[in-house]
Amino acid sequence: MRHFARVILGIFTVALRRTTNQPHPTGSQVQEFNTAIQCVRSMTDFYLMTQYDSHTDKTVSYMQKYLREFHETMSVFLRYGAGKGAKRAAAEAHKVLLKEQTETSVKGLTASEKTKLHQEDALECRNLVDEILREAAYYNFPKMHLISHYTEQIPKFGALKHYSTDISECMHKEFKEAYWWSNKINATSQMITNYTRDHTFIMKDLTIDVWNRIMQGEDPTADVGMGL
């Protein structure tokens, strides 16, 4: 993820270059794309600065600025956070509106008037779907709130890298492997059994190794701390 943060902005910008069969995006699309790029850039800059080994008042103020810009623009992605129920409701509303638009008579209209009507209908459908999806989505979850306290914690407790969870996350590996060895039905008891068995064998191997050293007259604690 740290490496990905260094390239996501460029990849995301290129991905927006052409999303439809249109040779060029419309004016409204360009505006939306610029807002989305600004949102991703702000969050990326904020995230990369959280990786600093040390901070000053200036860097903390930059983080506050980036986070504020992110909150001002993040609504552009809100429609993509809607659940399945909201998506089904939006699809049904789009279907009903499309049927009503199809039944509208276009007799007597010129080619340019038909084109204009088609564009207006498409915009109406898009706005309706967008409104339904936005109303059903939200950003109110713990991780989104947690980052708002970073700029308060850094002056009090130091750089955030000092509190990395990488070491504790590594502890999950053995439990994940134990889950894959289970039958996925009564997984909890099987995971505990598997982990306990593996841990027991490791402890027995260590005990045998220490006993062999004692029998050979060696110091059994000679390499203690060597891997730290």
How do the pLDDT tens digits run along the chain, 228 residues long?
778 888 999 899 888 876 656 667 777 778 888 999 999 999 999 999 998 989 999 999 999 999 999 999 988 888 777 778 877 888 888 888 878 777 776 677 778 877 887 778 787 887 887 787 777 777 778 888 888 899 998 988 888 877 777 767 777 777 788 888 888 888 888 888 888 888 899 899 988 988 888 888 887 776 655 544
What are the structure tokens assigned to 4, written together?
């990905």
Q: Is the dihedral of CA 36, 37, 39, 44 positive or negative?
A: positive
DSSP 195-227: HHHHHHHHHHHHHHHHHHHHHTT--TTTTTTTT
The CA distance from 123 to 139, in Å, is 26
